[in-house]
Chains A and B, each alone.
Chain A
Amino acid sequence: MNKKQKTTLYRILISAALLIALAVTERLVELPTLLLFALYLIPYFVIGYDILRKAVKGIAKRQVFDENFLMAVATVGAILLGLFTNGQEGGFEEGVAVMLFYQIGELFQSVAVGKSRRNITALMDIRPDYANLVGEDGEISKEDPDDVEIGSLILVSPGEKVPIDGIVEEGTSTLNTAALTGESLPREIGEGEEIISGCINLSGVLKIRTTKEFGESTVSKILDLVENSSMKKSRSENFISKFARVYTPAVCYAALALAVLPPVVLLLAGYDPRFSTWIIRALTFLVISCPCALVISIPLSFFAGIGAASSNGILVKGSNYLEALSETGIAVFDKTGTLTEGVFRVTDICPAEGIDGADLLEIAALAESYSSHPISKSLKEALTEQNPDADLSPARTTDVEEIAGHGLKANVDGRKVAVGNAKLMKLLDLTVPTPEKAGTTVYVAEGGKYIGHILIADVEKQGAAEALKLLKKSGIRKNVMLTGDNEAVAKSVAERLGLDEYRAQLLPGDKVDEIERLLASKNPKEKLVFVGDGINDAPVLSRADIGIAMGAMGSDAAIEAADVVLMDDDPRRIALAMQISRKCLRIVHENIWFALGVKGICLILGALGIANMWVAVFADVGVMVIAVLNAVRCLSVKK
């Protein structure tokens, strides 16, 4: 609690004690009304002086109709009514109590909001306070990260945040990237590798040569993005602020009408007008009507939702995107780098009869060992994975003869082999089986005889299939994949991952057209999300209703172009983002309906005289407290 809140707390305690003491005394001893009035004014002013002052100032500046005004009119009205009716209607007790509860509610709100604000900002607290600059003479000085120039040498000890992007010049260590990616597994880093700011150094001392200024570093960009996110307001927030602008004056006029019209009608009809009854009903009406519950809880929900997302490595650029995300009907994915690793791997080894698979792989890897082609790399990787002690020394391969567009012939350990595509096998007059699975096929022949083939393909990401299933479950109608790859590859990936549709052989420009077509086909109420890895995707990312860029660690372009940025490249985060947004919007709607519902009912009851001041206080303060507590639920994420 800050100083202001503490003062309010003391005022609440003092006036509550006075109020109880007075209420008890009043019931035990008969006191003249005027004396009671004077006595009740003491706790009333203790608790309400600031509200009264603000209300008066508001009127002086022609800024009527705010909640201070509502409260001041309601309480002053109740007390005056008590004075004039000798305590028959309204009363001193109610007047003071309403003000007291209002202040309790305000205090609670300010403490709760302050606390969740701090919680959320703590989640996003990746701002480094200083950088240890290594001088020419090796001396270390603490500097403001803003003052460190590009190309400076900085030192990061274990436990410290990496303040600026750079390249490790000395030392090895493990990094905690949880603040950036939500991933708890530490990441290894060594000399010559790129390091991004915002990570926490865990084990060893690192010397880093900076490659960017602080303002251009990853950490600054992320902070900037998160801090600005609550500036982009959602439709719900805009609705509430417009609503409040119309609502408060409307309620005030309604209350005035309630105080004047019925008694006048009664009077004209010849009945007892009962002015005081109708005035007290109008005052009750005013207390109920305070829009605070909505005005505070809706932005708080979005803020908490965005906070929860950022702590899971999902950066949402604005409340509007969080809202739109929950309305997604079509999800479009780029294949390479998003659903698949974008790296070629050996996926299948098919030796001919009587041939050993390990032998086949070794021959192929060795024959291709001179090439720098990605296929050669993946063969070598597969070999070392299978047999870490495999001897890959170049001396084993001799007499390499490349046949462009076909493959190569070579001498491996004295065995004459040919390794290449189907065309090479045709050239050698060999008949080979057609592989059933999609991918690039490497055929191997030895001594003029076919001995098997190896399949190399871009592998699906772990969790891609699960992510798509989760998305379906959270309400996505259609999952579509776009790719520049050929039909066979696209088809097999789409089938295995369970995509509803796919489009193959697209040139980069075709992707935008495809998005246009999908946008035209969707229902007017649903949104289209495009997920890409941020490389060459910028036009598509900006054309879609919501662009999600994956694996943003270090890619500025992706952070700029997308509306939602996933810090690592796990596709399951898309589903998580969707869950967070749906939960947040559900809570927002709950709060809107709950607050409007309770207030609506109480307003009717109040106008009919069934609800008294105490009900009114609940309808105002109680609803707000519940709405704020509900909003804070947006912070927690089920994994």
Chain B
Amino acid sequence: MSLTLLDVQRIAHLARIRVDAAEAAGYQSQLNGIFGLIEEMQAVDTTDVAPMSHAQDLSQRLRADEVSEPDRRAAFQAVAPQVENGLYLVPKVIE
């Protein structure tokens, strides 16, 4: 497998990371190197192997549907880039 420059730009957009043309070439060669390492996996027959998503076979713990957190909105919004009247400000999304 080999990623093209177009692939790199597509992945970068999926990941919401701006990559300019000059950087894309660098990432292309590095990512292809890493995928070269990853390709070793394909040589193994895993037909009847159950995928392992986690170190322990746990089921998700549930809790009562009750308010458990205190209101710390002011403290949490104090570290936000831009807030107003308790709301996070972002550029206009809907025209």
Partners in one complex: no
- Residues on B lying within 8 angstroms of A by beta carbon are none
